[in-house]
Every structure is written in structure tokens, then in C-alpha cells.
Chain A
Amino acid sequence: MNLLEITLGIMTAVGGFVDISELVFAAQAGSNYGYALIWVFALATIGIMVMSEMSGRIAAVAKQPVFNLIRHRLGLKLGLVTLIASLVSNLITCAAEIGGTAIILHLLTGAPMLLMAVAMLAVLIATIWILPFKWIERAYGLLGLVMIVFAVALVKINPPWGAIAAGFVPQVPPGLSTGGMIRFAYFGVAIISAVMFPYEVYFYSSGGIEEKWGFKDLPINRLTCIVGFALGSLLSISILSGSAQLFAPLHVDPQLPGSAALQAELPMGRTGLVLALLGMLFAVAGAAIETCLANAYSLAQFFGWEWGRHRKPWEAPRFTIAWILLFLLAFAIVATGVDVMRLVEYAVLFSVLVLPLTYLPLLLLASDRHFMRAHRNGMLANGLGWLYFVVIVAAAVAAVPLFLLTSGGQG
């Protein structure tokens, strides 16, 4: 594998890291709590690095995508529960991503949102139909790099770097009431869920198999997960910090995905605004494709259908019908006129509930001497893996009460 391939792989991971939920929760976290939730982003980013690296390693060594493992390790009953829960969670997430792109296109063009959602749906379906897997991943990942405008905008406003650095230390803002503490905890759980969405590992591990990873790809797998995701997470942290610096003093709560783009307009003018909206559009559209394909992968792997976009659409027909129907269903949810922000909230809630069932089989197989041999988890990967398993189980247990107590973070 040459340097260009490695660089492209890392850049794709950076550009593909941010999705609608991270955009919304990063901007809201910054405006509500300053820099106090940066550490949660950092914590969750290490978690997704650990789990994605494992899923990529399993794909390369054991040639097993995640949902094959879930069915084999959890059995039919619990596997089916996980499948249904993840289908619901990914479908809501996909609808939120499509709704998010429609809002951004509406802001860019002024055209009605529903019309923009139809246009986006057509583009997304055409993309998967026409392009092979690698091109799909690369196109949206690289276009999503325009999101770097948020990091540039942050540098331009010259924020208090010391306060941002201090945000990486675990903390709870002083002086919060009980209600405030509960809402802070809700934001923490939502950020963990948004960064560690289960669809990311379904897509990542299936992608490894689509690209026929083998032992030689293990270093690039590790590099992509560590460097690519770390840089991608810095984009989310830039949005959070820009929001803390610009929106918090004005008591502006950026509840719409488009609001975050104002961070780039203030220091960079109209060009910054347009670039920010374009970056968000590509990143969120890429996430819509990932969530939809992740669902089709899950269904196909669970029931043993032929799957993958390395094959022509008619060579994996049930998989093709699945992703087209799932896109249409996600669009139907948006077309009901449901508030996209509510979709984002439900997406993070459902996802955090699915996380333990997704990551447990991964951890078990990654440590399995029989399947993974010399490439099974070492002490560090195992330690971190189980530590994060405890974190996501705690987040899953706390999610529903926190959601109900705060009316989805509203207060």
C-alpha cells in the first residue's frame, strides 16, 4: 500500500467522521456548557477508535463482518433483537441525515425543504447505484474535508486556547442545579452515542470486507482509526469551541444544523458561510449513505444474502432492494414533516441502547485465540475494550431516564 493510499484513507476518515448528530450536539454543548464537554468528545473518540480498530482487524483476519458475528455469538433470538433495534436506530439516523441535508440545501438555495429532500434522495441513490464502494467512500469523505473551515474559523477568532485545553480534563461545570446536572449528563450520554454510533462499525467492518482487506492492511486499519478519527474529532471539537466562544456569550442556542455554519461566517464572511454549509452538506450526505448501507449490510449479513457494493447491484439483488427500500423509508419519515431535531434526539437515544449488543460480540471475537491467532487483542486493546464496554453499558442504562427527565435535552 503506497503513501497516497494511506493519506487518502486517513483523509476519508477525517472527512467522514462528522454527522448531523455530532454537528448538533457539539454546537449545543458549546453554547450551553462552554468547553466543559470537550473531554466527553475525547473519551468517546478513543472509544470509537478502539472498537473500529477491532472491527477492521476482525474483517482483515477472520473475514467476518459485524452482523455475522452478532448472529453467531449472540444466537438467533438475541441477534434478532439486536438486528431490529439497530435497524430502527439506523433508519431514524438516516432520516435525520437526509432531513439535515435538506435543511442545508434549503439554506444554500432557498428552495423548499421537501423538494431538496427529494433531490438529495435521488443523488444518494444514484451515487450508490453508479459508483463502486471505494469511490463512494472516498468521494463523500474527501468532500467532507471542506469542514476544515470550522477549524480555520476557530483559529481566526483566536479563542482562549488554555481554556480549550482545560476542556480535555474530565469535569462538571460548577454551580449547576440538580436539573442542570441531569441535563449536563444527558448531553454527555448523547455525545457518547453520537460519536460511537453503531452504524459506524457496521459500515467500517463491512467496508474492510468490500475492499478485501488482509493481513497487509492491518497497519492502515490502525492508522486510519487512530489518526483519521482523532483529526475528525478535532473538527467536532472546533465546532464546540467556536460555539462556546461565539454563541454562549450571546445566549444563542444553535438548535438547527445550519446554525453552526454561522461560526465560519463571523470571522470569514460569506465565503466562510458557504464553505461551512457545503462541508456540512457533504459530511451529512456521506453519513446518510453510511447509515443506509449499514442497515442493508446488517440485514444481508444476518440472513446470509449476497451483499456488497463491490458487486454490481444485480449481482447482490436482495441487498440492493434493501438499501433502496431503506432510503425510501427514511425519506418517508422526513416527508411526514417531523422535526429533524427530534429525529436526531431519537437517533442518539436508540443508538446508545444498541451499543452494548453491538460491541460485546466484537470484543469476544477480537480476543478469540482460535479465530484471531496472533492478531487477537493484546492487553491494551482488551483493557480499553472492556473499559469502554462498561462506559457504554452505563450510558445505555442512563439514557432513557435522562431523556425522559430532560425532555430530550430541552430542560
Chain B
Amino acid sequence: MSPRDRIQLVGGLLDLPILDIEGRYCGIVDDVELEEADDELRVKALLVGPGAYRGRLPAWAFNLLCRVAGARITRVPWDAIERVTGAVVLTVSAATCGLHRSEDKARRLIPRGGAM
């Protein structure tokens, strides 16, 4: 499916994994940002991160999750999307969209070496 096709937002986009141009997992479509253009609603960006769970979880669960994982939201512009299949595939790297930070932070904790 191309980004210009009509997409069922909940069934076809929400909660899909996101792969960057190198085929690496870099997030999940947690919510979408819409804009009005030519009397139509269009997807402007994908929202990724625990902050985007607001309204999708009960308030207590959302607050608890934000305490554990933070309330960050990363916006991925719709024009950075190549196609939507079983996953959303980006035309750019995770770092270009800002989807690399948590993985980079965790990487600093892992020693290199010893693995085949």
C-alpha cells in the first residue's frame, strides 16, 4: 500500500511496527496526527512513544507508564513513509526521525565483544 492510498487508520496503521530504511525496528505507531486539507482529513505524522498513549489507556495506567518509561513523543512526518504493509517502512534512517535515542542510550550499557 502506498502512502497516497486511502488507509483505514485503526485497522491499517495504528499499532503497526515501524522499520527504518535499513530494515531495523525503531518503534510502533502509537497514534497519528491529522490535518485538514481540501475538506479532507489527512495523516500529517505518526506519533511514537509512551506520551502518545494518552487517551488510549485509562488515566492511571497512562500515568504509571509515563513514570516508568517517560512521556516522550516523537513525530514521524508522513512524507518519510515509503509504504505500509505488515509494518510501516520509512524512507529514512531511525536517527533522521529521532527514533534512535532510547536504543542509543541502552547501547552505551552493553559491552562489545564475545558474541559470534
Question: Which A residues are closer than 8 A to B by beta carbons?
Answer: 62-64, 68, 71-72, 75-77, 79-80, 129-132, 135, 300-307, 312-314, 317-318, 320-321, 371
Contact = CB atoms under 8 A, between A and B. Distances in A.
A318 B102 contact: yes
Nearest to A318: B106
A300 B116 contact: no
Interface string B89-116: 0000000000000110011011110111
| Dominant SS among interface residues on chain A | helix
A321 B106 contact: yes
Contact of B26 (A132, A304, A314): A304
B25 A304 contact: yes
B26 A306 contact: yes
A317 B110 contact: yes
Contacts of B30: 76
A300 B16 contact: no
B28 interface: yes
Contacts of B25: 300, 304-307
A72 B107 CA distance: 27
19 contacts: A62-B86, A63-B87, A76-B57, A77-B57, A80-B61, A130-B114, A131-B116, A135-B116, A300-B25, A304-B17, A304-B26, A306-B24, A314-B112, A317-B103, A317-B107, A317-B109, A318-B102, A318-B106, A321-B106
B108 to A, nearest CB: 8
Given A62-B86, A130-B116, A317-B103, 17 more contacts: A63-B86, A63-B87, A72-B14, A76-B30, A77-B56, A130-B114, A135-B116, A301-B17, A304-B18, A304-B26, A305-B25, A306-B24, A314-B107, A314-B112, A317-B110, A320-B106, A371-B86
Interface in B15-33: 15-18, 24-28, 30
Interface string B66-93: 0000000000000000000011000000
B48 interface: yes
A313 B116 contact: no
Interface residues of B, number: 30
Contacts, number: 75
Interface of B: 14-18, 24-28, 30, 48, 53, 56-58, 61, 86-87, 102-103, 106-107, 109-112, 114-116
Contact of B103 (A72, A77, A306): A306
Contact of A64 (B14, B26, B86): B86
Nearest to A308: B25
Contacts of B87: 63, 68
Contacts of A75: 14-15
Contact of A303 (B28, B109, B116): B28
B26 A320 contact: no
Contact of A72 (B16, B61, B102, B116): B16
Contacts of A135: 116
Contacts of B17: 68, 301, 304
Contact of B57 (A62, A80, A132): A80
B92 to A, nearest CB: 16
Contact of B116 (A77, A132, A318, A371): A132
B31 to A, nearest CB: 9
A79 B15 CA distance: 10
A130 B115 contact: yes
Contact of B106 (A63, A307, A317): A317
A321 B110 contact: yes
Contacts of A302: 28
With most chain B CB atoms within 10 A of its CB, the pick from A76, A131, A300, A321 is A76
